[in-house]
A and B are shown apart, each in its own frame.
Chain A
Amino acid sequence: QKEVEQNSGPLSVPEGAIASLNCTYSDRGSQSFFWYRQYSGKSPELIMSIYSNGDKEDGRFTAQLNKASQYVSLLIRDSQPSDSATYLCAVKRGSWGKLQFGAGTQVVVTP
């Protein structure tokens, strides 16, 4: 079992709709969780971090964390073509810094 799992996609989303991305992790002691966006050929860009159960909203993005079920999700509302990218889920390991990344979910927003 991979430590951090994501559906590879592609996830096809009509423009203006909600994109829903899921991520599960195996280490029950994980404390912090991150979503990165990566455009093709570019480096990852941090878009959300969350470490408490529940929802965290930032603009069109909402991260949801459920530690009991060991999953974290990302919702993108009012999806735009510029949201077309690969979204990486990352989970903090241990007492500091080290992150475990999932393989990413490719999102394609169609006009």
Chain B
Amino acid sequence: GIQVEQSPPDLILQEGANSTLRCNFSDSVNNLQWFHQNPWGQLINLFYIPSGTKQNGRLSATTVATERYSLLYISSSQTTDSGVYFCAVGATNAGKSTFGDGTTLTVKP
């Protein structure tokens, strides 16, 4: 099946800093989502982005499907951005999504 690798595994920032999270995948995809998991375990939808670029406030994402990666940008980070960020991808020839192991972001005040 498709392999999904997220980097870095852990990231520590000071409040106000910018960050880039990466998701690499091993096959062509027709589905890609970014999620933020809050401390209670709920997965919050950030972006549905199988290709192209989207922005939502301080967050933006870009997927370059031909090169098999997606990037999540967080600008002017806040302590509430802390948590685990997951990408989930659906291979074109598969009927399901596969999650990476996540990036744990800690934003210090």
The reply to whether chain A is a binding partner of chain B is no
